[in-house]
Every structure is written in structure tokens, then in C-alpha cells.
Structure 1
């Protein structure tokens, strides 16, 4: 009799259990949606919708001063690729990005290697190089603007050793070099800390084993250290490339795109077209191009990881 009762009750209990489980799963899904919703709303409001609107604006001739907004199709893009100033901006952006990435990544890795030796005073050394990262970008650029003037602090120091320094921010080659160096010194501390964190998790046993096998310092660095920190190198490279293509404040404060168009990078050219000449349609087309350039470069670096980043296939 007890067995019969158990068999009679069991199906109902099973249905009730499934109902409770289904209710619990629905509740978990709604909780998950509640956690994700703010991020999705923020992404839609501040990324997706503005991106769509910029593409839409780029297809129009939008002159703010004359209050005209007319559909022009691909005219802004055709104008962009025929504009000599646009070509100069692309060249300047390429030079700036290449110089910044090479100097920043190389110097950051070198500093991290020095700090990883745990020499006396390394904490102070680390603080000195990281402090510009948290400094105001505008204040940093203004101070360097004074230092790089024709009779500024840099040339004053060079005069002490008998060198007649150039007008750093008014010469074509020296202006671009100055802006690159100022930006490298501003951001190298962050990359230095990232590389230092990666170096500190490299197993010392592997390096010691390589030394016992007769490998020199360079061979240990090239064959063990670099492969093990290659994911960090990839991340730093991607972030530095993206940052180099978005530089604006330093150009605006130090050189205003001059002399001529020598330091008019893509972002500053966009600013000129949209906010100085008030041609928002053309400025939107330039911003779309900049988005495509950043996206393509990021994807190329991401695909290249398969060849040189450890454990990538």
C-alpha cells in the first residue's frame, strides 16, 4: 500500500519540481538581464546611436553657419580623397603613430626590465615615471610648451653646454619629434607598469635553466621572456596604436597643427573641419574614416597574434 501511494504521489512531485526549477531559471534570466541592461543602454546611447548618426551626417552637406542640411550622398567621401590637406593629415598621423608606438613600447619595456632587477631606489624611480600618467594632460602640454619655446628651458640648458638649440615647435621635423616625445613621456609610465606586472610572473626557474644550458642574457630574453610576456606586448601595442590615432590636446596646445600642416594629425584635421570651418558633414566623413582606420589596424594586430603570441593558434 505504501508503495502504491509513493507511485501515485511521485508524478505530481516531479511536475512540481520541474515547475519550481523553471521558475528559478526564469528568475535567474531576469536577474542577468537586469545586470546587463545598464551596460547595453549605455552602449546603445553613447556608442551605437552616435556612430549611426555620424554615418548619416557624413552623407549630408551640413553647413551650420548657413543653416543648411541637404543630402549629398558620397560627395563628402569623394572630396575627402581628393583633398591634399587630408593626405597631409594621413601622413602626419602615420608618422606620429609609428614614432609613438616604437618609442613608447621600447622605452616602457626597457624601464620595466630595469625595475624588475629590484635595484635600490626602484620605488622612487617607478613613482617618477608613473606620475605624468595621472597629471593633467592640458597642464602637462602647457608646461612642455614653455620648455620647448625658442628661449625656453630646453634651449637654455643646451646653451650651458655650448649648443644652439632649434625652435623646437616651429620647425617641421623638430615639431613632430617634440610632440611625439612629449606624448611618450606622458604615457610611458602606464605601459611600464603593465610590462613590469608581466615580467614578475615569468618563472625564474625557466630562466635559470636556460642559463645553466649556456644561454646568454640576450638569448634568455629573446627565447623565454619575450614569448611569455607576448600577450601583454599585444595588449600594450593595441592600446598605444589606438591612443596615438586619437591624440588631440597635445597638438592643439603645442603646435595647433603647424608649422604648415606638419603636425595636423587626423583628429586635429577633423576638429578643424567641424569646429573651425563649421562643415559638420565633411567632418563626419573624416570621423568615419578615422573609425575605419582604427578598426582595421586593431583587427590586423589581433590577427597577427596567431604568429607571435604564445599559446595562440
Structure 2
């Protein structure tokens, strides 16, 4: 007959083994996520804190000055007309890019989702700009959009006199938007195409039998089912539109005037042309707040239009 002590000892050993296995699993898990956590801390959290700290100072590298200024840089932002112009340019660029990019990507995805010959070739054609170097892509377009470039040469062959696209305030922003749309529309197209191909054919067939037309099926069935992808694409496109820099630097240099000086390019000017790193850091904080706010707004409003969100 076993005693309570004899019965308890194996149970305690079992519990100790389980506890040891649990701790070992925890250590393995921590080891797995450690590189990502360390990377996020070193390259995201620490730079954010540093930029916030720098924004409270007047920092001129050439003059070798670093003086605490409190909220002076933020007060300066409130009364800086150049900053307001750059915010307006960023707004125009973002709206134009998001509307054209998302709508064109969805249209191309719908067309290329049809079972027609040659769709693979067209998918490759529209996606290939995504893998091309951004600077190389922009330089090519800068030659095409010059006053005597390829675009105006083609228009001249049709009897149309084209403007100097990159030196005209009425067309410079439009030209930059179109160049960026053609660069990245293929990526969004692929995302939409994958979402469209995941829509069950049975649901559309049932709606077709019930008499729903193509537009009604697309509006009432396809769009709700691909709404999570629409949310993803819209967030990525909006964030990307607020971070545009290379296209502006290569194509227009912020001109003509300040018509294409978006917020990131204005930040670059303050830091590396005027050597005012304190003010540039304050603008960086503003940019971070704008991106964070827009992302949170989209994320919170998803419950109203994203399918299967509660």
C-alpha cells in the first residue's frame, strides 16, 4: 500500500519537469523574437525618442550649436507659411496618388482576372516597374517629360503642342503623381488580383442565377469580400504618398516655385540645405503624428465598411 508521501514525490517530479519544459519553451520563444525586438528598439524606438529630443533644440551642424529651445520649433511651425504650402502640396499629392493608384489597380486587377489569352504577359508588363530602381525609373521619366522630350514629341506628331510638364506649376504636380502611379500600380494590382481570385465562384454563380448583373455582383459581392485588401492597399498607399522624396528631388526639385515641395522634401531642405536640424526634427515629429493619425483613423473606421469586421 502506497503512502501519501510516496504518491506525492512522483507528482512533484512531474510538475517540476513540466515547469522546466515550460520555462525552456519560454526561453526559446524569447530567443526567437529577440532579434526583431532589438531591431525595433534600435532602429525605431530609439530614433523616435532622439528626434523628439532634437526637436526641442536649436541645432546647427555648421555653427556647431546645440541649444535647448523648448517648444520654439513647434511655435515656429504654427506661423511658417512655407510649411503650410508643403502640407497643402502633400495633401494634393496624396489625394491624387491614392485615388488614381487604387482605382487603376483595382480596374487592372478586374480586367486581368478574366480568363483571356495573354493575361500573364500583361500582368508581367504592369508589375515590372515595381522591381525597377526608383531613381532609374524617375530619371527616365524626367527625360520623357522635358519640353523637348518623348511625351511632347509624341503629342507633336498628333498636332498637339505639349507644355513643359515639369516646369509648369499647373502640370508639375500632375506629372509627379502620374510617374508615381505607374511605378507602384503593379504592386497594388497584384494584391487586388490575389483577393479577386479568392472570391468563391459559387457565390457569384448563385447571384447570376438570381438575375444580378455584373455591376451588381461586383458591388454587392466582390467589393465586400475584398474589402480587407482594399484597407491594406489604402493604408500602404497613403503612408507611401506622405513619404515621397526621390521623385520630387529628381523630377522637380520642389519647383516650380514651391508647388511640388511636399512635407518630406521640405524637411530635407531644412536639415541639409539650411542646416537647421532642430526645426527639421520638429517637422519629422509632425510627419510621424500625421501618418500615425491617418493610419489609426483608417483602422478604426474599418468596422463600418470592411467585411466580417466586428
1:298 — aligned with what? 295
Greater mean deviation of Cα atoms: 30-39 or 219-228 = 30-39
1:152-203 residue CA offsets vs partner (Å, 9 max, x unmatched): 0000000000000000001112100000000000000000000000000101
Structure-to-structure mapping, 1:211-250, within 5 angstroms: 211-250=208-247
Alignment partner of 1:62: what SS?
A: strand
Correspondent of 2:126 among 124, 129, 137? 129
Give the TM-score normalised by the residue count of structure 2.
0.99
Alignment partner of 1:247: what SS?
A: coil
Correspondent of 1:81 among 52, 67, 78? 78
1:117 — aligned with what? 114
Distance 1:102 1:169 in 2: 21
Q: Is 2:260 aligned against 1:263?
A: yes
1:220-257 residue CA offsets vs partner (Å, 9 max, x unmatched): 10000000000000000000000000000000000000
Q: Is 2:14 aligned against 1:17?
A: yes
Alignment partner of 2:109: what SS?
A: helix
Correspondent of 1:173 among 165, 170, 173? 170
**What residue ranges of structure 1 are gaps of 5+ in the alignment?**
none
The alpha-carbon deviation at position 6 of structure 1 amounts to: 6.8
**Count of residue pairs the alignment pairs up:** 310
Distance 1:5 1:246 in 2: 73
Q: Is 2:88 aligned against 1:91?
A: yes
Q: Is 2:6 aligned against 1:48?
A: no
Q: Is 2:286 aligned against 1:285?
A: no
The alpha-carbon deviation at position 64 of structure 1 amounts to: 1.0
Distance 2:3 2:176 in 1: 83
Alignment partner of 2:58: what SS?
A: strand
1:51-105 residue CA offsets vs partner (Å, 9 max, x unmatched): 0000000000001111100000010011111111000000000000000000000
1:262-304 residue CA offsets vs partner (Å, 9 max, x unmatched): 0000000000000111000000000000000000000111111
Distance 1:51 1:8 in 2: 58
The alpha-carbon deviation at position 210 of structure 1 amounts to: 1.0
Q: Which runs of 4+ in 1 moved over 2 A?
A: 5-9
Distance 1:213 1:154 in 2: 49
2:60 — aligned with what? 63
Alignment partner of 2:290: what SS?
A: helix
Give the TM-score normalised by the residue count of structure 1.
0.98
RMSD: 0.8
Greater mean deviation of Cα atoms: 70-79 or 8-17 = 8-17
